[in-house]
Amino acid sequence: GVLRGRTLAAGMRLMVAPASQQDQRQAEQEGVMQVLREAGAEVLATSCGACAGYGGSIPDGASVIATTARNFKGRMGSETAQVYLASPYTVAASAVAGRIADPREFMA
């Protein structure tokens, strides 16, 4: 609901790595994957995503907001990157706003 009819803010990247092929199929059937693509998300193959550097390693000084289950310095790339953990709603809202955002702003 946060992304439907919206696109990512300039300079933002939204990378989505479905947890499993079954989850991706279900999201396709529900129309979620189409909404993600239309908003500008990069859909990666099913995996654990950036935690393994998949989709590219996070560079020095970057700021990232992610839905991963855990966080520690250097987990997704550079040890100087700032990585914040948040809900999928907050990550989607932030990708649209271009800053860490409250998803309620986009769900009214």
Whether residue 108 is contained in a domain is answered as no
Domain housing 61: 15-49+57-103
- By CB atoms closer than 10 A (0-12, 13-18, 19+), residue 16 is buried
Whether residue 8 is contained in a domain is answered as no
Q: What local confidence, expressed as pLDDT, does residue 87 receive? A: 95
- pTM recorded for the entire structure: 0.84
CATH code where residue 39 lies: 3.30.499.10
Q: What local confidence, expressed as pLDDT, does residue 77 receive? A: 72
Q: Which long-range contacts (CB under 8 A, 24 or more apart) does 59-66 make?
A: 65/90, 65/91, 65/94, 65/100, 66/91
Whether residue 6 is contained in a domain is answered as no
Residues 31-46: tens digit of each pLDDT: 999 999 999 999 988 8
Tokens read off for 33: 């994957």
From first to last of its 108 residues, the chain has per-residue pLDDT tens of 999 999 999 999 999 988 889 999 999 999 999 999 999 999 988 876 555 555 567 788 888 888 887 677 777 777 888 888 999 999 999 999 999 999 999 986
Of 62, 108, 68, 63, residue with least CA distance to 88: 68
